Structure 1
Amino acid sequence: MTSYRFGDEIVDKESGDFERILASVYKSKDRPVCLCRPKGIEMYVVHIGEKFYIKRMPDTGGDHDAACASYEPPVELTGLGEVMGSAIVESADLGTTALKLDFSLKKMAGKSAPEPGEGGADSVRTDGSKLTLRGLLHYLWEEAGFQRWSPSMGNKRNWGVIRKYLLLAAEHKSTKGANLSDILYIPEPFVLDRKDAIAQARAAQMALVAQTAGQTGPRKLMLLIGEVKAINPSRYGHKLVVKHLPDFAFMLNEDLHKRLNKRFETELSLWDAIEGVHLVAVATFGVNKAGVATVEEMALMATTDNWIPFENRSDKTLLDTLTRDGRRFLKGMRYNLAATRPLATVVLTDTPTPTALYIHQSGGDDYDEALDGLIRDSKMESWVWHPEQGEMPAIPRQ
């Protein structure tokens, strides 16, 4: 268990006084020190809601011990390296993070949804200076810790937990002059006895962007994160049915539906074919004068039954093997990276030193050269599986 030094006092996170000490440090602006390493690593404290949390300093994730909750693999092994410092700008002094987005949070009158490549509908064409819609979802997922896995997490993740920590991850994040938490809608777990209260709370939140009579100029949009239950035909297009929202749907026009099927064919096919897969949607949406929500842009992400994101069957096979064997690991998140760019699929954190696991994709000579360069330039031990060659090699031991 990691301990922290506050001045001359050493306290572990499970101490009953931990939050009181964090509150005191927050007021003093002193830096607590994580003791996962002999020399210690400076941290900082943030105030979210009614609670205080200890956070790692920017660009220090790799300095922590692999067993520490603050450890983060080198950013160049995942898609985070392309966006950190440009699309994601952290300020430890202010305890805030500024996000630059590659999609709009406003709807111009008469303007249709962007074509693939103009924004979040297609998450692969970007210069890295702005987060795509998928990139934002990956960032919040990682900030919430759902790319991490250890045996102790078994059977402890459900939609209520997912929602709680995604909302916490959105706190103190700002974009385009707005607080991310103010424009983010994540449905709460549905409880029949609270049906009316849930509907009223939803209506109150969506009223912030609802179109009003006589309104001119651009309309505000909100962000949705929810688990897909179905995408069904409707009278004039299609509708997104989100789990825990039995009495509320999000409308999709025919054009967006066609492009969604094309761009996210892989995610949709994995969800359809594999039992237990969760399909998570992130979308921008507006609300018209009738109170009907319409999706403007949308991206999808497939996860295992433990809510760990994956990209293909080989990816899931590796994750299932590691989970079954009781391993500790971090899942590499792609963010804005194209599927043709290699990344570390998983970083094992229970080996003597962290080990990067790669799954080779059939991407031609350019892909092979990029993968070889990624492994060569990394100081981390590596393991490569070529699914096209057959059986998975032995995974490095704990």
Structure 2
Amino acid sequence: MGHAIKEDVEEGMTMLRLDFALNKIAGRAPPSPSDAEKDSIKGETSKLTIRSLLHFLWDVSHLTHWNPGMQGKRSWATVHKYLSRAAQGKYTKGLHLPSTLYVPEPFYVDRKNEIAQRRSALIAAAEKSDRPGQKLFIVIGEVKEVASARYGHKVVLKQVPDFHFMMSEDLNKKLKVFKDEISLWNAFPEIHLVTIATFSVGRTGIAEIEEMAFMVTNEQWIPFSNVDEKNLIDSLIASERRFVKGLRYNLPSSRPLASVILSDTPHKHTAVYMVPGDASEGYMAALGDLTDNDKLTHIQWLAGNIMPELPPASATARAA
């Protein structure tokens, strides 16, 4: 990610450059939508879009990693725990990320008042900062529904049934950018639709979304982008394989990326690439460059073909 992520190992700090605002200043035009795919050096390396920040935190949380021992042990409580940990030591725009990041804790009816108080305390503390203009927060949560409100729309998160995020009619119309994610969410009732959004809280205490992105994950909270990729991941989990899911960050779909890296194969890890049927010459040339790396075994799955046979897990990995 080039200059977008700078890690200072000695200080235990990571500096993040974001291409979206964390405050609203009167008279300043809002930024143009940042989650449109970009295919330039600047778009890929200089700053994190709101979607690529979600990918970064998911990666650092190791929610992209899987081994058989994790079966049945991933819930939103797990996601909340590791995302909250991942944010520690991350700084952006002069802020410690946890001071502006809201990852809802698991909701329990008998604890709803204390949960609401902790949420209010987070918002109140951030409002006291010396950032100019209206403060913006970042929320990461699982979408329950996008519903009509009396004026505009609202996003309801499963973990926050008592605190809705209002969305303007204009922003709702822009959700067509995420038609692929929404269609997958509609098709598979067991999967999760995760959102990351910036939001403000007005004097009335109502949250209003400024910018957002979506990501779909399977039942185990592993992200995927299409049906074939979901089938691949589900097959690997059922076969008790060990792997790491690749995430695109700012990389556009016109560029190749290993869908998964199998970490349990003998001698070398194995990269599996999902190759679109309409892949361009540029895509295939870039894929050729990636597969020239002899430190990995490389397998390509061309869209429309049956899933290729994958190398078996090593005896050591099976016994672990």
> Same-fold call, TM > 0.5?
yes
The equivalent residue for 1:135 is 52
- The verdict on how the C-alpha distance between 1:110 and 1:239 changes in structure 2, with shifts beyond 3 A counting, is farther
- The answer as to whether partners of 2:38 and 2:44 remain within 8 angstroms in 1 is no
Please report the TM-score for the alignment, with normalisation by the length of structure 2. 0.92
Secondary structure, aligned partner of 2:3: coil
The equivalent residue for 2:300 is 384
Q: Residues 1-398 of structure 1 correspond to what in structure 2 (within 5 A)?
A: 83=1, 85-109=2-26, 113-116=30-33, 119=34, 121-122=35-36, 124=38, 126-209=43-126, 218-259=133-174, 261-352=175-266, 353-361=268-276, 362-377=278-293, 379-388=295-304, 390-398=305-313
CA distance in 1: counterparts of 2:29 and 2:202, whole angstroms = 15
CA distance in 1: counterparts of 2:19 and 2:31, whole angstroms = 11
Secondary structure, aligned partner of 1:257: helix
- The answer as to whether partners of 1:224 and 1:282 remain within 8 angstroms in 2 is yes
| Cα displacement (A) at 1:217 | 5.6
CA distance in 2: counterparts of 1:174 and 1:301, whole angstroms = 23
The equivalent residue for 2:316 is none
- The answer as to whether partners of 2:23 and 2:132 remain within 8 angstroms in 1 is no
- The answer as to whether partners of 2:102 and 2:137 remain within 8 angstroms in 1 is yes
Secondary structure, aligned partner of 1:284: strand
| Cα displacement (A) at 1:201 | 1.2
Secondary structure, aligned partner of 1:345: strand
CA distance in 1: counterparts of 2:213 and 2:311, whole angstroms = 34
- The answer as to whether partners of 1:209 and 1:286 remain within 8 angstroms in 2 is no
Q: What is the root-mean-square deviation in Å for CA atoms of aligned residues?
A: 1.8
Task: Give the aligned residue type for 2:94.
Answer: G
- The answer as to whether partners of 1:210 and 1:289 remain within 8 angstroms in 2 is no
- The answer as to whether partners of 1:123 and 1:133 remain within 8 angstroms in 2 is no
Cα distance per residue 1:226-268 (max 9 Å; x no partner): 0000001111111010012111100111111111x22111111
Q: Which runs of 5+ in 2 are unaligned?
A: 314-320
CA distance in 2: counterparts of 1:133 and 1:166, whole angstroms = 15
Please report the TM-score for the alignment, with normalisation by the length of structure 1. 0.74
Task: Give the aligned residue type for 2:147.
Answer: N
- The answer as to whether partners of 1:123 and 1:135 remain within 8 angstroms in 2 is no
Secondary structure, aligned partner of 1:241: strand
CA distance in 2: counterparts of 1:112 and 1:87, whole angstroms = 23
Cα distance per residue 1:281-319 (max 9 Å; x no partner): 001110001000001010111000000010111111110
| Cα displacement (A) at 1:94 | 0.5
- The answer as to whether partners of 1:133 and 1:282 remain within 8 angstroms in 2 is yes
Cα distance per residue 1:81-123 (max 9 Å; x no partner): xx1x41111111101111111111111225564332xx3x435
Secondary structure, aligned partner of 2:162: coil
- The verdict on how the C-alpha distance between 1:262 and 1:248 changes in structure 2, with shifts beyond 3 A counting, is same
- The verdict on how the C-alpha distance between 1:180 and 1:198 changes in structure 2, with shifts beyond 3 A counting, is same
Secondary structure, aligned partner of 1:309: coil
- The answer as to whether partners of 2:87 and 2:98 remain within 8 angstroms in 1 is yes
CA distance in 2: counterparts of 1:111 and 1:271, whole angstroms = 35
Give the number of the structure whose alpha-carbon radius of gyration is greater.
1
CA distance in 1: counterparts of 2:87 and 2:168, whole angstroms = 29
| Cα displacement (A) at 1:149 | 0.3
Task: Give the aligned residue type for 1:394.
Answer: E
Identity score, percent:
46
- The answer as to whether partners of 1:123 and 1:132 remain within 8 angstroms in 2 is no
Cα distance per residue 1:122-144 (max 9 Å; x no partner): 35461411111111111111111
| Cα displacement (A) at 1:145 | 0.6
Secondary structure, aligned partner of 2:139: strand
CA distance in 2: counterparts of 1:332 and 1:314, whole angstroms = 15
Secondary structure, aligned partner of 2:45: coil
Runs of 4 or more consecutive aligned structure 1 residues displaced over 6 Å after TM superposition? none
| Cα displacement (A) at 1:387 | 2.4
CA distance in 2: counterparts of 1:91 and 1:316, whole angstroms = 36
CA distance in 1: counterparts of 2:80 and 2:273, whole angstroms = 30
CA distance in 1: counterparts of 2:89 and 2:132, whole angstroms = 28
